[in-house]
Amino acid sequence: MTSPTKATAIGINHVALEVGNIAEALAFYGRFLNFTVTSQTEDAAFIYFGDQFINFAQGRTQTPDRKRHFGIAVDDKELVRNTLTEMGVTLLEGQFLDFLDPWGNRIEITTYTNIMFSKTSAILRGMGMDHLQKTDHALAQLNKQGFGPVDNSR
């Protein structure tokens, strides 16, 4: 058997976001997301969503993101939408729930149950989210990509 010529991407472990102030970033994101802070200094913080994390790093200097963004999968997208609106955050126009955080990082909020991205049953159970059920559309996408048969049984 020959050796592979390149590595296979398995997933995204984390995203690093530059912010102006670590404490303010934790307060801002903490108003609409549940997460665990595993480490915090004046210059950095690590917030975990189960087995993945965001690294907040102090020092944002670039202009606000126009198209560059990343998505956060949540259990209740409409709750996030309502909370952001109550916070006075401007939601960006378009078909997705996108907004800029106070430092210009563009974030897209999506519903976990509607997308192919999946956590293991053990991770969901540890997060207290093992009640989440993928939609038929998401299950069909997973199965079409050869990740199945996938169903909602645990």
59 vs 73: CA distance, rounded Å: 26
Q: Which two tokens stand for residue 50?
A: 């189960």
**Can you give the pLDDT of all 154 residues of the chain as single tens digits?**
667 899 888 889 999 999 999 999 999 999 999 999 999 999 999 999 999 999 999 999 999 999 999 999 999 999 999 999 999 999 999 999 999 999 999 999 999 999 999 998 899 999 999 999 999 999 999 989 998 766 676 5
**HSE-up of residue 10 (Cα within 13 Å, Cβ side):** 5
Confidence (pLDDT) at 153:
63
Nearest to 96 by CA among 83, 106, 86, 88: 106
Task: Report CA-CA distances (Å) from 107 to 44, 104, 118, 130, 145.
Answer: 19, 9, 19, 25, 26
Q: Which two tokens stand for residue 136?
A: 């038929």
CB neighbour class for 74 (10 Å; exposed up to 12, middle 13-18, buried from 19): buried
Confidence (pLDDT) at 106:
98
Helix (H, G, I), strand (E, B) or coil at 78: helix
Q: Which two tokens stand for residue 16?
A: 């690093």
- Decide if 91 contacts 78 (C-beta within 8 A): no
pTM to 2 decimal places: 0.89
Confidence (pLDDT) at 1:
64
The residue with tokens 């010529």 is 5
35 vs 50: CA distance, rounded Å: 8
66 vs 85: CA distance, rounded Å: 20
